[in-house]
Amino acid sequence: MARSASSSSSVITAAMASEASVKVIDGKKVAKDIRDEINAEISRMKDSIGVVPGLAVILVGERKDSATYVRNKKKACETVGIKSYEVCLPENSTEEEVLKYISDFNDDPMVHGILVQLPLPSHMDEQNILNAVCIEKDVDGFHPLNIGRLAMRGRETSFVPCTPKGCIELLHRYNVEIKGKRAVVIGRSNIVGTPAALLLQREDATVSIVHSRTRNPEEITRQADIIISAVGQPNMVRGSWIKPGAVIIDVGINPVEDATNPRGYRLVGDVCYEEACKVASAITPVPGGVGPMTIAMLLSNTLLSAKRIHNFK
């Protein structure tokens, strides 16, 4: 994906840091720019070789949040011209049934990306199911081979996991210098924290990971020029954790009780936004920061897969 900054973007430096000049990194706007770019590229592909990228999504069970995510992914596919294929299976489906659908999609030339919505029901072996997705269509980037390649210097990954890829894309589009900078990733999940740390390392940052067993997390985090937090703890990162001028990418989306809100709750990040704004040079809001980027990167990976499979430049 192109790295050109939007007109509203500017080079972010530590010197900018003050409450008045904190830059809000607008994930919604960047995601829209990316969707527009993808839409144009899909039109070019369709006109040139008659191919439309296809994304298959498998949903098992009746979890409301998962159903919402799948619905949003389907809607996003429609906006850019990707054909979506959807399979919704009941909670009590067998692992074999899920594997059969994956096998069929692996063999289907109309499908260029396969996504299994997580979490899966407890009676299923998540690892076994994710490993069944053929690596050329693993647009979620969770296959061990993809993560392994990400960890190795000089190796090209087939796909980068969508949320960490979205975090780095935001840094690129806002011209945040990564090379030689100190970066701290808070959280070490397979889905966000670990691949985010690997991506930052690929960009020549000096990377530390803070996790639940880390001693003095505040002290370590305060050394960072760039913070990516993906820990799922509301407002855990306070202003005192942040070095003046740091850039913050907040992946957390945490509901907290709020009697003034019609829903009875509001969404906050892992970083205390009000405090961070007084210290950081730039920060992603929650919602409207990393969230929209995750789906944009899924669409980007699906297009990339179709181009690769059909050798379309």
Domain match, 182 and 128 both: no
Residue 237 located in a structural domain: yes
CA 81, CA 2: separation in Å to the nearest integer? 19
In a domain, 37, yes or no: no
Residue 19: inside a domain, yes or no? no
Residue 216 burial class via C-beta count within 10 angstroms: exposed 0-12, middle 13-18, buried 19 and up: exposed
The answer to the question of residue 229 being in a domain is yes
Quote the pTM value. Answer: 0.90
Q: Is residue 31 part of a domain?
A: no
Beta bridge mates, 113: 55
- CATH number where 238 lies: 3.40.50.720
* Four-CA torsion 104, 105, 111, 113, nearest 10 degrees: -170
Q: Does the active-site annotation cover 201?
A: no
**Residues 97, 286 contacting (CB under 8 angstroms):** no
In a domain, 25, yes or no: no
CA–CA separation, 108 and 92 (whole Å): 26
Domain of 61 in residue numbering reads as 50-136
Max distance between CA atoms of the chain, in angstroms, equals: 57
Reduce the DSSP state of residue 47 to 3 states and report it. helix
pLDDT tens over the chain, length 313 residues: 545 444 444 444 444 444 458 999 999 999 999 999 999 999 999 999 999 999 999 999 998 889 988 999 999 999 999 999 999 999 999 999 999 999 999 999 999 999 999 999 999 999 999 999 999 999 999 999 999 999 999 998 889 999 999 999 999 999 999 999 999 999 999 999 999 999 999 999 999 999 999 999 999 999 999 999 999 999 999 999 999 999 999 999 999 999 999 999 999 999 999 999 999 999 999 999 999 999 999 999 999 999 999 999 9
Q: Determine the Cα–Cα distance for residues 182 and 207; give it in Å rounded to an integer.
A: 6
Q: Are residues 174 and 261 in the same domain?
A: yes
Which CATH number covers residue 82?
3.40.50.10860
Which of 102, 136, 170 represents a domain boundary (last residue)?
Answer: 136
Same domain? For 169 and 281 the reply is: yes
**33 a catalytic residue:** no
Active site annotation includes 233: no
Burial letters 230-265, b for 16+ CB under 10 A, else e: bbeebbbbeeebbbebbbbbbbbbbeeeeeeeeeee
Residue 202: partners with Cβ closer than 8 Å, 6 or more residues away:
150, 153
> Do residue 208 and residue 121 come from a single domain?
no
Indicate which residue of 73, 165, 243, 307 is catalytic: 73
> Of 178, 232, 220, 218, whose CA–CA distance to 200 is shortest?
178
If asked whether residues 171 and 289 sit together in one domain, one would say yes
Residues 60 and 179 grouped into a single domain: no
Which of 23, 33, 117, 181 does the annotation list as catalytic? 117
How many domains, in total, are found in the chain? Answer: 2
* 1 within some domain: no
Alpha helices in the chain (DSSP H): 27-49, 64-80, 95-107, 126-132, 144-151, 162-173, 193-202, 217-221, 273-276, 291-309
User: Do 169 and 265 share a structural domain?
Assistant: yes
Candidate list 140, 225, 250, 270, residue with the active-site label? 140
d(CA 193, CA 90): 31
278 shares a domain with 189 = yes
Place of tokens 């996504």: 115
For residue 92, the one-letter residue type is N
